[in-house]
Copies of this chain bind each other. A is one copy, B any other.
């Protein structure tokens, strides 16, 4: 039951933010009573905390797998984009704002994850990229890793990128591709271009709705 409550709470928080989702909503959606929820959790913040904890755990495993699977640092950074886009597509713009403003404990958990895991993995990526000659050696890994970490939060900031003007998908795409390109050497660009061409090709092949027909015909 605890798992089901966490799953449903995650789905609702991601879709509507935290503030507007009540214990009542979670119970109703699961067809259980509020009392049952309170047998497992003392309040909404505790649910939120465990939702974020579990989400972070899954993200970490996914990130670790990708680092192992990917052939080089350029692909590694760009495939984080795919993971983020899958996650970001159905995230309410209120989620991060709600957590930041009203749920300090949960936000601390997120900040710690950002500081430790994300910061470290980006820093390692940059150092690896430099040592493999794919990223320029005149960049500062510490400053650029910090920039990238901040960009992740920036993209979710509704005041900076209003959701009625930009899609999360586009913002993430622009920011990460620009971030990677800003570090590349000539050798790095060769690998980057290969990856982008292959990726664009796959997107076209996988499109089922025929919307890319015109593009294919003019190729």
Residue numbers of A with Cβ under 8 A of B are 139-140, 142-144, 146-147, 150-151, 154, 160-161, 165-166, 170-171, 174-175, 177-184
Docked pose: A187 CA to B151 CA in angstroms: 28
Determine which of B139, B146, B177, B184 lies in contact with A161 in the assembled complex, contact meaning CB atoms within 8 Å: B146
Query: Are A150 and B143 closer than 8 Å at their CB atoms?
Result: no
Give how many copies assemble into the complex: 2
Docked pose: A99 CA to B179 CA in angstroms: 30
Docked pose: A177 CA to B175 CA in angstroms: 15
Determine which of B140, B154, B165, B177 lies in contact with A170 in the assembled complex, contact meaning CB atoms within 8 Å: B140
A182 surroundings in chain B (CB, below 8 A): 177-182
Query: Are B161 and A151 closer than 8 Å at their CB atoms?
Result: no
Docked pose: A170 CA to B182 CA in angstroms: 16
Not counting A140-B170, A143-B161, A143-B175, a sample of 20 additional A-B residue pairs whose C-beta atoms are within 8 angstroms of each other reads A139-B174, A139-B178, A140-B174, A142-B165, A142-B166, A143-B170, A143-B171, A146-B160, A146-B161, A147-B151, A147-B154, A147-B178, A150-B154, A150-B160, A177-B182, A178-B182, A180-B182, A181-B181, A181-B183, A182-B182
